[in-house]
C-alpha cells in the first residue's frame, strides 16, 4: 500500500481530486460499470481510463487497467461477463490511470503488452507502475475469441507510445487517450506527445473507421467517426489560428489570452490543466513556434 500511495503522489496530476487522507476512501467509493459496446466487446467505467473488455472461449482480453487499488473491483466487473482467465492486457499508453493495475494483473498471470515507447518512457519518467512485459515497435495482432484484434501505433499524439486497438469483427476501436469525449485533447509534450501528431492520429482513426464503427475513447462515452471528424476539424482550426498567431509574433501567453478557441471552450474546456485550452495551445506552440 505504501508503494501505491507513493506512486499516486508522484502522479497526482492524473487524479481528478486532491491527494490527501481521503485517497483510500475515494477508491473505496468507486463503482465499476460495464457498458456493452458491440459483439463481445464492452468497456468498464471506473476511475481513470476506460477499460476495454473482450471476452470469449479463448479468454479475457483487457485494454488498460486504471489504478492499482481498483484491481479487485475490475476483476469483479470482468467476472460479471466471463469466468475465463484474464490472459491478455494491452496498455494504450504509459499514464498511471491506464497502467496502475499492471503489477497486480501481472501477478495473476496476465500477459501485458504495450508499445516499445510505453516501456522505455515509463523508465525515463521514473514511474513506479510496472511496465508492459512484451513490447512491439509498430503493431501486433491477437487472433482470439473468433476475431482479429489489431493493435497499432498512432503518430506521436497524447504521448510517444499511443496505440489504437481495433476489433475487426465487432467493428470497435479503443483509442486510449488520443481521443476523449470529455475535454480538449491532452498532449503530454514532456512524454513525447505532439499537437500536430494528434491531428494525424485523428486522420488515421477516421481512415480505419466507417459510419457503424463504435469508438471507445480513453475518457468519456462511446463515440463515432462523425464526432471524431468534427473534433479533428476543430483541431485544424486551432492549428491554423495558432500558426497565424505565431506569424504575427504573439507569445504563447498572448495567444492563450487571445480567445483562439473561444467558440469551443464551453463544450471542451476542462477547467484544469489536463484538457484545457491553455495546455493545448502550449502544445501547439511546442510544435509550430521556432
Q: Kindly write out the interface string for residues 49-88 of this chain, putting x where it contacts Zn ion by CB under 5 A and - elsewhere.
A: ----------------------------------------
Nearer to Zn ion, 158 or 170 (CB): 158
Question: At closest approach, how far in Å is the CB of 178 from Zn ion?
Answer: 9
Question: At closest approach, how far in Å is the CB of 279 from Zn ion?
Answer: 13
CB neighbour class for 30 (10 Å; exposed up to 12, middle 13-18, buried from 19): middle
Question: At closest approach, how far in Å is the CB of 163 from Zn ion?
Answer: 12
Nearer to Zn ion, 66 or 277 (CB): 66
Cα separation of 207 and 215, whole Å? 13
Locate the DSSP E strands across the chain: 33-38, 41-45, 51-54, 60-63, 86-90, 111-115, 134-136, 139-144, 147-153, 163-167, 172-174, 214-216
Question: At closest approach, how far in Å is the CB of 98 from Zn ion?
Answer: 6
Nearer to Zn ion, 129 or 177 (CB): 177
Helix (H, G, I), strand (E, B) or coil at 49: coil
Regarding 166 and contact with Zn ion (CB under 5 A), the answer is no
Question: At closest approach, how far in Å is the CB of 256 from Zn ion?
Answer: 22
Distance between start and end Cα atoms, the chain: 45
Number of residues that bind Zn ion (CB under 5 A): 2
Q: How far is CA 109 from CA 53, 62, 195, in A?
A: 17, 13, 37
Q: Could you say which residues in the range 168-187 bind Zn ion, by CB under 5 A?
A: 177
Nearer to Zn ion, 119 or 255 (CB): 119
Cα separation of 27 and 144, whole Å? 32
Nearer to Zn ion, 95 or 232 (CB): 95
Helix (H, G, I), strand (E, B) or coil at 176: helix
Regarding 95 and contact with Zn ion (CB under 5 A), the answer is yes
Question: At closest approach, how far in Å is the CB of 96 from Zn ion?
Answer: 9
Q: Which residues of 200-232 are buried (b: 16+ CB within 10 A; e: fewer)?
A: ebbebbbeebeeebbbbbbbeebbebeebeebb
> Which residue carries 485533447 as its cell?
185
Nearer to Zn ion, 11 or 110 (CB): 11
Question: At closest approach, how far in Å is the CB of 217 from Zn ion?
Answer: 11
Regarding 279 and contact with Zn ion (CB under 5 A), the answer is no
Q: Residue 245 is placed in which grid cell? A: 498567431
Residues of the shown chain interacting with Zn ion in the complex, contacts defined by CB under 5 A: 95, 177
Amino acid at each position: 500500500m505504501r508503494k501505491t500511495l507513493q506512486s499516486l503522489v508522484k502522479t497526482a496530476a492524473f487524479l481528478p481530486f486532491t491527494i490527501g487522507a481521503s485517497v483510500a476512501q475515494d477508491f473505496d467509493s468507486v463503482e465499476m460499470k460495464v457498458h456493452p459496446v458491440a459483439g463481445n466487446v464492452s468497456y468498464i467505467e471506473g476511475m481513470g481510463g476506460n477499460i476495454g473488455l473482450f471476452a470469449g472461449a479463448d479468454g479475457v482480453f483487457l485494454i488498460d487497467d486504471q489504478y492499482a487499488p481498483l484491481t479487485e473491483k475490475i476483476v469483479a466487473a470482468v467476472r460479471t461477463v466471463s469466468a475465463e482467465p484474464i490472459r491478455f492486457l494491452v496498455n494504450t499508453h504509459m499514464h498511471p490511470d491506464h497502467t496502475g493495475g499492471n503489477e497486480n494483473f501481472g501477478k495473476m498471470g496476465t500477459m501485458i503488452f504495450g508499445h516499445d515507447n510505453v516501456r522505455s518512457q515509463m523508465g525515463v519518467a521514473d514511474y513506479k507502475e510496472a511496465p508492459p512485459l512484451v513490447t512491439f515497435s509498430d503493431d501486433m495482432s491477437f487472433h482470439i475469441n473468433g476475431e482479429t484484434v489489431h493493435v497499432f501505433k498512432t503518430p506521436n499524439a497524447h504521448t510517444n507510445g499511443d496505440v489504437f486497438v481495433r476489433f475487426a469483427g465487432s467493428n470497435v476501436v479503443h483509442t486510449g487517450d488520443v481521443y476523449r469525449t470529455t475535454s480538449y485533447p491532452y498532449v503530454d509534450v514532456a512524454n513525447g506527445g505532439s499537437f500536430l501528431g494528434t491531428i494525424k492520429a485523428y486522420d488515421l482513426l477516421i481512415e480505419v473507421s466507417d459510419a457503424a464503427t463504435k469508438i471507445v475513447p480513453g475518457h468519456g462515452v462511446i463515440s463515432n467517426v462523425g464526432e471524431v471528424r468534427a473534433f479533428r476539424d476543430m483541431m485544424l482550426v486551432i492549428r491554423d489560428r495558432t500558426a497565424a498567431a505565431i506569424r504575427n509574433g504573439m507569445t504563447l501567453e498572448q495567444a492563450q489570452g487571445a480567445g483562439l478557441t473561444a467558440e469551443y471552450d464551453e463544450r471542451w474546456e476542462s477547467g484544469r490543466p489536463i484538457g484545457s485550452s491553455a495546455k493545448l495551445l502550449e502544445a501547439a506552440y511546442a510544435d509550430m513556434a521556432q
